[in-house]
Amino acid sequence: MKITAPNPGLVSPQGSQGLEAPAPKKEFGNVLNEMVGEINRLQQDGDQKISGSLVGREDLHEAMLSLEKANLSLKVLIQVRNKMIQAYEELSRMPL
């Protein structure tokens, strides 16, 4: 009886490790810092586009889209913060 793998692409060639080393995990604080930095960049971009539209260099439509994108990103970050606080409060109420 010959046993074969269901998907030959999943089997590594002989002599290789088989599994690659896991990617380094990011710290949660670093992820949050990256999110805040990205939102800050989006807001600055929106401000620049609004300033450009006031002097006629940028399209007002693009400026409003940019500001709305920054606004939605900020709302998502606030919801993530609220969920984190809620989870912390639930954990602090758990009996030991």
Burial level of 69, CB count in 10 A (0-12/13-18/19+)? middle
Q: Is the dihedral of CA 88, 90, 93, 94 positive or negative?
A: negative
Q: How many domains does one find in the chain?
A: 1
Residue 87 is part of which domain span?
Answer: 26-93
**Is residue 14 in a domain?**
no
**Is residue 6 in a domain?**
no
Question: Which tens digit of pLDDT belongs to each residue from 49-92?
Answer: 999 998 988 898 999 999 999 999 999 999 999 999 999 999 99
Question: Which tens digit of pLDDT belongs to each residue from 21-59?
Answer: 677 777 888 888 998 999 999 999 999 999 999 898 889
**Which among 64, 59, 58 has a CA at the least distance from the CA of 46?**
64
**Is residue 76 in a domain?**
yes
Please, are residues 73 and 39 in contact by the beta-carbon 8 Å criterion? yes
| CB atoms inside a 10 Å sphere around CB 63 | 20
Is the overall model pTM greater than 0.75, yes or no?
no
**Is residue 71 in a domain?**
yes
**3-class DSSP string for 27-53:** CHHHHHHHHHHHHHHHHHHHHHHHHHH
